[in-house]
Amino acid sequence: MTDRTPATPGRAATQSAAGTSAKGLTTGRVGLLGAVVIGISCIAPAYTLTSGLGPTIAEVGQYVPAILLLGFIPMLLVAFGYRELNNRVPDSGTSFTWATKAFGPYVGWMGGWGLIAATVIVLSNLAAVAVDFFYLLLAQITGNASLAELTTNLWVNIPTTLVFIAVAAYISYRGLESTQKVQYVLVGFQLLVLGGFAVAALVQAYSGGGFDVTPIQPSWFNPLEISDFSILAAGISLSIFMFWGWDVTLTMNEETKDPEKTPGRAATITVLVIIAVYVLSALAIIAWAGVGADGLGAGNPDNQESLFAVLAGPVMGPFALLMSIAILSSSFASLQSTMVSPARTLLAMGYYRALPPVFAKISPRFKSPGVATIASALAAAGFYTITRLLSENALWDTITALGLMICFYYGVTALACVWYFRRELFVSVRTTLFRFLFPLIGGLVLMVMFFITAFDSMDPDYGSGSSIGGLGMVFVLGMGVLVLGVVLMVWTRLRHPGFFLGETLRREDSVSDDTSSMLTV
Amino acid sequence: MTRRILVGYVATDYGRDALNLAIALARGQDIELQVAVVAPQDGPYAGVYPHDRGYASILEEQLGQWLQGALEMIPDDVAAVGQVVRGESEAEGLIQAAEELDCFMIVVGAREGGVLRRYRVGSVAAALLHSSPVPVALAPHGYRQSGPISRITCMFGPKPGAVDVIGLSVQAARRRSAGLRLVSLLLVGNQDEEQLDDSTRAMNLGVLQSVTRYGNERLGETAQEMVEAGTASTQVVTGKTVDYAMDELDWEAEEVAVVGSSRMAARGRLFLGSTAAKMLRSIPVPMVVVPAGYTGLSTHTAEAGPAEEKTP
């Protein structure tokens, strides 16, 4: 007697262990606090502040609080569109599939590429920041200041960074991931150390102990004081980088104990906490160090790449060690978890034949995207090596290029939301706001930011001031990555035309789409 | 009553070894294979961003295809059902599935070892060997036998608590009408009163005494009956090290070795002892590791042999 049950995914899933949904997500385990912790951990504030605040201060000076508040608005508007798409087409949720459904294969391909490029760039930056603070921490522990200088030696810096990337890729390939306890500790520690830094800096500044004490002005919160639109655009695309990851809480549903209320509340609390931390840190740094271009000033180009590496010591004294630990741990944890993201998008693109099918390979042993993970790690390693060799301020330039890339794929995705729902936009007031108005404004704003920043970055003096052939480094990096995408897309179109002929993913709108986008191979 | 074996399948060579072993174990028996592929579970705290649900669908489809491939490799005379099970880790998923599906054994493959080694215990097998509540069968690398099992070798050493491993072996040999070989492993240097005597009779006696001493009286009597009936044999192997001692044993192609857990095992859990771990290096046949105090199959009293009634 033979009982052969066909192993259809649907059927097998119904037999799976209790407490999980059909899609491998843990259900109903995350409470409000947990969701906030997840949101903050995805932003990794200690890392974003040290690498993003410097370039932002370089652009907008003391108006950082204003630009942070302003930069959050398009992020929020786009996130509403994301949530709509995520709720409607939960089983195929990436910028790549959504944009393909809405705008067809070419825009969809570039949307996916934008996401991959953004995550690959942030990987290289995360690894580099982790390496900087690794050597700084070594110096602080041993009391040997020359160890911190090792990171400026390219023969030490680049290999160490590549090792960090390789380790993170291996962990990701093995399918190992952070646990609840680890995330609580990492997030709690980051907030504590950042809070401690800000309080120490403010107390010192107001007792006359700062480097260039600059009393806080209410005008710092007023974006209208920034007269130049280009500066505004640059600041916003940087602040979008600093909020990147926040919207993860909005896309959590089944995992939360109360899917109706938890995601929205968690997103609200997360953003309040993050804005508080950012604004407090920005105020403290500017009040303590000023925005001057000399010495410890936050406007000094030598300090822009990693503000905390420079300022933590003078402000916190021996406790600067804690800052190094906080940034090293948060950037390495992010490095490892972010590694998953481009790999999964590459895998999806391989699966839908938008890339050679080899990218769709899943490791039988670890059940993770093997080829795609290796490809992501190699891309991050390659991107970092090239940038480091070409630019004197690699980290600064990558962060600015990253802001560009996020604006691009976020913008594409938000507009994809509007177009995908084009036949269901005005069903109710709710849909008018969340499917039409918010994502449309958010998407348009981000696309405008993208084009203005891209245009301005052609100026060789833009950002850190590195340039190649008379063109700004940020422009070369950002456009180089996008042009590379176009080349790869054309190559794939010629070699593997199936996707581009609509054989795997068809153009759909929300009414025609039966949401079962899976291939039947 | 049909009993179930859980196969921890992965679409690799050692996954196929596990499948082959499960087929060999099930052949001619009233055993249904539950072929399980473990789907990794994204913990909510993994910090994966952006949240991509499409990936899970693609993964699920691939797992289904692998499972289908595994089921197609199983010959028609062996009953089999496929399962995609979930777990935070592979081992955890398998243990949970074994408990939920009421399986009496988990079969996994060993990874390819070095030169002349049939086993290298991978991380999943290692985790199972230190925590499974049911016996774990390890298929050596490249296992290609098709069953049925011809002989069961029960390996036990001079320590108390061998009742589980001897009981299981006696029971399994009887149920399968397979040969039983009781092997007492003595490392020279171990304090033991057992006299080493060349004569077969004395050797039998020694091993049977050990069965009584380290198992229980009831098992001793059963073993003696089987030796007298010619269905069981005994052997004492000695040596300075486990490797030397194991050299004295010869193996049949369709044989399976059964070993017990370390005394460090929590009751009802498996924990691979250091001796058993060393045996793994030199055993060319599949090895079944029994959890400490495993009384086994209490729900299947219809099939219970004498071993079933033993006192713990």
The number of residues making up chain A comes to 521
Classified as helix, coil or strand, A486 is: helix
What value, to the nearest 5°, has the Cα angle with vertex A15 and ends B69 and A372? 55
Confidence of residue B275 (pLDDT cuts 50, 70, 90): confident
pLDDT band of residue A14 (cuts 50, 70, 90) is very low
Quick: pLDDT tens for A118-156: 999 999 999 999 999 999 999 999 999 899 889 889 999
**What does the pLDDT read at residue B122?**
75
Phi-psi region of B148 (alpha: psi -120 to 50; beta: other; left: phi over 0): beta
The beta strand positions in A298-440, using DSSP E, are none
Contacts of A146 (CB under 8 A, 6+ apart): A139
Q: B250 to chain A nearest CA, in Å?
A: 33
Residue A32, class by beta-carbon neighbours within 10 Å (0-12 exposed, 13-18 middle, 19+ buried)? Answer: middle
Domain of residue A207: give its range.
27-501
Q: What average pLDDT does this structure show over A93-104?
A: 87
pLDDT at B299: 36
> Which pLDDT score, from 0 to 100, does residue A521 have?
35
Q: Measured between CB atoms, does A360 come within 8 Å of chain B?
A: yes
Of the candidates B226, B243, B113, the one whose C-alpha atom is nearest the C-alpha of residue B176 is B226
Query: What pLDDT does residue B116 have?
Result: 53
- Residue A4 DSSP class: B
pLDDT, tens digit, 9 for 90 and up, residues A413-443: 999 999 999 999 999 999 999 999 999 999 9
Asked whether the CA dihedral A433, A437, A441, A442 is positive or negative, the reply is: positive
Any domain includes A11: no
Sheet-wide strand order for B79-87 = B79-87, B31-40, B3-8, B105-109, B136-139, B287-289, B255-259, B151-156, B179-187, B232-239
The per-residue pLDDT for B267 is 65
Cα A325-A328-A330 angle, rounded to 5 deg: 100
Asked whether residue A360 is assigned to any structural domain, the reply reads yes
Q: Which pLDDT does position A382 carry in this prediction?
A: 95
CB-CB under 8 Å, B41 with A2 = no
Show Cβ contacts of residue B112 under 8 Å, excluding neighbours closer than 6 positions: B13, B14, B120, B141, B142
CB contact under 8 A, A367 and B80: no
Q: CATH number, domain at A303?
A: 1.20.1740.10
Q: What is the pLDDT of residue A466?
A: 84
Q: For B56, which of A23, A37, A178 is closest by C-beta distance?
A: A23
| Assigned token pair, B212 | 């009584």
pLDDT number for residue B265: 63
pLDDT classification of B238: cutoffs 50, 70, 90 = confident
> Does any domain span residue A9?
no
What's the pLDDT band for A490 if we cut at 50, 70, 90? very high
CA–CA min distance A215, chain B (Å): 38
pLDDT value of residue B118: 58
pLDDT confidence of B279, banded at 50, 70, 90? confident
pLDDT of residue B295: 64
Which of the given ranges, A91-105, A433-447, B243-257, has the highest pLDDT on average?
Answer: A433-447
Flag whether A506 is in a domain.
no
The answer to whether residue B309 scores a pLDDT higher than 70 is: no
Q: Is pLDDT of B304 > 70? A: no
Query: Measured in Å, how far apart are chain A's first and last C-alpha atoms?
Result: 30
Residue ranges of A 143-202 with Cβ closer than 8 A to chain B:
175, 177-180, 182-183
Residues of chain A in contact with residue B67, where contact means CB-CB under 8 angstroms, are 7, 12
pLDDT score recorded for residue B117: 56
Total structural domains in chain A? 1
More confident residue, B13 or A10: B13
Distances in Å between the alpha carbon of B196 and those of B84, B199, B207, B279?
51, 9, 10, 22
Q: Tell me the DSSP string of A183-213.
A: HHHHHHHHHHHHHHHHHHHHHHHHTT-SSS-
The model's pLDDT over A29-57, given as tens digits with 9 standing for 90+, comes to 889 999 999 999 999 999 999 999 988 98
Nearest chain A residue to B12 by CA distance is A364
CA distance, residue A403 to nearest chain B CA (Å): 16
CB A348 within 8 A of CB B59: no
Both tokens assigned to A293: 């271009």
- Please, are residues A388 and A379 in contact by the beta-carbon 8 Å criterion? no
- A20 has pLDDT over 60: no
Determine whether the interchain pair A94/B50 forms a contact, defined as Cβ–Cβ distance below 8 Å: yes
pLDDT, residue B306, reads 37
Is the pLDDT at A8 greater than 50? The verdict is: no
Give the class (CATH, top level) of B1-43+56-147. Answer: alpha beta
Lookup: tokens for A355: 């890339």
CATH hierarchy code of domain B149-312:
3.40.50.620
Residue A327: band (very low, low, confident or very high) from pLDDT cuts 50, 70, 90: very high
Name residues 274-333 of chain A within 8 A of B (Cβ): 333
**pLDDT above 80 (res B303):** no
Q: Please name the residue of chain B whose CA is at the shortest distance from the CA of residue A88.
A: B53
- Answer for the pair A81, A425: CB distance below 8 angstroms, yes or no: no
More confident residue, B298 or A326: A326
CATH 3.40.50.620 domain range(s) in chain B: 1-43+56-147, 149-312
What is the per-residue pLDDT for A93? 59
Is the pLDDT at A61 greater than 80, yes or no?
A: yes
Per-residue pLDDT tens over the stretch B193-221:
444 545 555 666 677 777 777 667 777 88
Query: What are the pLDDT digits (tens) for B77-99?
Result: 999 999 999 888 889 999 999 99
Report the relative pairing of strands B3-8 and B105-109 from DSSP bridges.
parallel
For residue A510, being part of any structural domain is answered with: no
Q: Determine, for residues B40 and A337 on separate chains, whether the beta-carbon distance falls below 8 Å.
A: no
Residue A116 structure tokens: 């991959």
List of residues 6+ apart from A152 with CB closer than 8 A: none
CB atoms closer than 10 angstroms to residue A199 = 12
Q: Tell me what percent of the residues of chain A surpass a pLDDT of 90.
A: 61
Residue B308 has a pLDDT of 34
pLDDT in tens, A366-400: 899 999 999 999 999 999 999 999 887 878 888 88
Phi, psi dihedral angles at A210 (to 5 degrees): -80, 180
Give the other-Cβ count within 10 Å of A336's Cβ: 23
| Band of pLDDT at residue B112, cut at 50, 70 and 90 | low
On whether ipTM exceeds 0.85, the answer is no
| pLDDT tens digits, A174-223 | 888 888 899 999 999 999 999 999 999 999 999 988 888 888 999 999 88
pLDDT above 70 (res B297): no
pLDDT at A391: 81
Q: Which residue has the higher pLDDT, A390 or B66?
A: B66
* Beta pairing partners, B80: A4, B33
The CA dihedral of A253, A257, A263, A269, to the nearest 10 degrees, is -160
Mean pLDDT, rounded, of chain B? 80
Per-residue pLDDT band for B301 (boundaries 50, 70, 90) equals very low
Strands B105-109 and B179-187: unpaired
